Structure 1
């Protein structure tokens, strides 16, 4: 793995979570249907129930396609595959549960998704000109505004899918566990009783007849007899820790095969930075807390590695997934596989999941334009506010280098079905 400096880069990721610790839109951990592998089926409009509207905090200003900076220059690579997968998510049955993140209104998307089926465009090899023509015919751009009615310019960060080296057995250098969801982990949806707490969930466990907070990372490590099932043993504690920060990743096994360790749940504890812990202990200045320096410190202080890891009480639990299409990343909060440089995490208080967006920002650490159509398919603990966006770079070291350096300013337009009015949520 390439060494990425933290000072204005991964320091932000190790000191404050990005698109991590999010719950996919599923009934229970580990039960995510792989709808990307299924054909797009669009039900009749009357078969899609009308559920109560979910309020959005921002407002929208209708604009023309010519108002989108660089729209004609976007190559639209992988856009049609992402768009079709997005329709698969939109056309799923609607639960109306306030415990779920706000999603784009399915009924207004039904005609567009039906037209996509009839278009004859191939998700694997769609013609750019035809895709652009379809989008312009079917969709209307709306600029996202903040509560004051001003363009919602905000921070754009990046995340990616890392690679770790792991074994299914604890042996040799493979000593650092990544756990499956514990059988005693409880998840309580507060929004089902208190609508004002929609989307808020409490993790815990039973202690007699009481629900108490679930174990911290330190408590899990200190109780081998009660530890969850281990999916894989990683050869480096810092790499294993960083995979948890990202929330998902791929693991290369000793025989060269790959497995995906996808986010399944977490212990409900707040995140804390190991970089800040090292600085507070006087082990290294915060500005020097790069991944390479943290790994070097861990090698020099093997007896204190667990102490360092325990500084973060949060623990992410995983599920194993097969890698069928290397172009597809892990599933985001919308339970749709992310596509590198075509998927983003958003604040669903302003932009509902399943919305196509046009993002205007710049490449990491530069003024070079980064202007492209993306899909709102994920959320994140630190992704809050109008226009706040986390850009998914894809898999591997190069994607990690870009993600680690990205802290740009950006503007957002939501692309919404024509004749449907301003964007709405359910």
Structure 2
């Protein structure tokens, strides 16, 4: 589970070469990447081309222009000739999680059934410092300001919609509206799964989204208090102009793609750039992704959140992911003056 996506437009291509204190940067070879030869590089190239034009810097502009002229059959050779794999590490443990776009029932008008509001961005929201807490907002601090975009029937689903940062709302007449991240109250995200672990309510190895939701449903008297341990609160905007067959908008204001888009910490990974991920755990996999999203819970060079798609099936798959592994950033070859890894082969 992660916090809502950050929805700023523009995509600074921060160079990890300007490594901060304590960040370790090591150059690798493509032969060090487990499963590299077997991936669908053409699929990753298509996703990269969708957003690379928004990246900053002459190096990225040249790479993007070159990428848009590459034929699908040449995608693997393009990545190998144009990029250098780079392992960036810090003191934050490696962790992969998953996120998705929920589809929920709701309404545009409050009723006895649909009584939980989803709010648009308040005009008085400060630009930097923390504002009202989740508890204050849920107690009615924004009532009467006309900020409600839609109404849901379940406060727990509203909470998890904020965690995902986007979603589709199916209205009573069958129409669907899409909501995307607009901003937050700027309080730090705090995991309610961790809160339940600390209470002894669930075991660490069981703290998936489904287990947390089930516990909240079984303990309605305590659910509200648990939700409020996360003071962070997310505001939405309508993005129904995004075609139904595309994913929600990520931080780069471009639709994200199932199992090709990943949320990263932009302080360590260039937003818009390609990254190779190697996920461990019960269902390990390796894949070339594109860093097109962020989230307030995604901090650290080896922290990533994988987009799984839309709807309940995607939610089940996303909720099962909580594993270690590694993220390898692909940087333009111009950045290649780096310490080399030992030639021990794929990790």
Name the TM-score, length of structure 2 as normaliser. 0.81
The answer to whether the 8 A contact 1:86-1:375 is kept is: no
Aligned to 1:181: 121
- Aligned residue among 39, 52, 56 for 2:19: 56
Separation of aligned partners in 2, 1:293 and 1:21: 22
Checking the alignment, whether the CA contact within 8 Å between 1:153 and 1:412 is kept in structure 2 is no
User: Could you give the per-residue CA deviations for residues 149-208 of structure 1, whole angstroms, max 9, x where no partner exists?
Assistant: xxx982222222222111111124111110001122121xxxxxxxxxxxxx324xxxxx
Q: Which residue of 2 is the match for residue 218 of structure 1? A: 135
Compared with structure 1, are the counterparts of its residues 109 and 222 closer, same or farther at alpha carbon in structure 2 (3 Å cutoff)?
A: closer
1:4-83 equivalences in 2 (<5 Å): 13=1, 18=2, 20-26=3-9, 55-57=18-20, 58-76=23-41, 78-83=43-48
Q: CA deviation at 1:273?
A: 5.2
Tell me, what secondary structure is at the counterpart of 1:83?
helix
Task: Label 1:228 to 1:81 Cα distance change in 2 as closer, same or farther (>3 A).
Answer: farther
Q: SS state of the match for residue 293, structure 1?
A: helix
Contact 2:52 / 2:273 at 8 angstroms: preserved in 1?
Answer: no
Q: In structure 1, what is the Cα distance between the partners aligned to 2:136 and 2:104?
A: 24
Alpha-carbon distance between aligned partners in 1 of 2:216 and 2:14, rounded to the nearest angstrom: 49
Q: How does 1:184-263 map to 2 (within 5 A)?
A: 184-187=124-127, 201-203=128-130, 214-220=131-137, 221-223=139-141, 225-227=143-145, 229-263=147-181
Partner of 2:258: 340
Q: For the Cα contact (< 8 Å) 1:342–1:373, is it kept in 2?
A: yes
Q: List gaps (5 residues or longer) in structure 1.
A: 1-12, 28-34, 36-49, 91-104, 122-126, 188-200, 204-213
Residue 146 of structure 1: aligned partner = 89
Cα distance change, pair 56–226 in 1 and its aligned pair in 2 (3 A): farther
Q: Does 1:133 align with 2:84?
A: no
Task: Please show how residues 283-302 of structure 1 align to structure 2 within 5 Å.
Answer: 285-287=201-203, 290-298=212-220, 301=221
Report SS of the residue matched to 2:8. coil
- Aligned equivalent of 1:84: 49
**Aligned residues: CA RMSD:** 3.3
Contact 2:28 2:87 in 1 (8 A): no
Q: Relative to 1, partners in 2 of residues 1:403 and 1:114: Cα closer, same or farther, differing over 3 Å?
A: same
Higher Rg: 1
CA spacing shift, 1:116–1:223, aligned 2, 3 Å:
closer
Measured against aligned partners, the alpha-carbon deviations of 1:195-251 in whole angstroms (never above 9, x if no partner) come to xxxxxx324xxxxxxxxxx22233333346444511110122211111111222121
* 2:327 corresponding residue in structure 1: 412
SS at match of 1:186: coil
- TM-score scaled by length of structure 1: 0.67
In structure 2, distance between residues paired with 1:143 and 1:267 = 35
**Superposition deviation, residue 116 in structure 1:** 2.6
Indicate the residue corresponding to 2:342 in structure 1. Answer: none
Q: For the residues of structure 2 that align with 1:390 and 1:235, how far apart are their CA atoms?
A: 27
The secondary structure found in structure 1 opposite 2:129 is strand
Q: 1:414 deviation in Å?
A: 1.7
Pairwise CA distance, 1:264: 0.5
Report if the CA contact (8 A) 1:56-1:349 is conserved.
no
Question: CA 1:310/1:113 → structure 2, altered by over 3 Å: closer, same or farther?
Answer: closer
Structure 2 unmatched ranges of 5 or more = 339-347
Cα offset, 1:51, TM superposition? 11
Q: Structure 1 231/343 Cα, relative in aligned 2: closer, same or farther at 3 Å?
A: same
Partner of 1:101: none
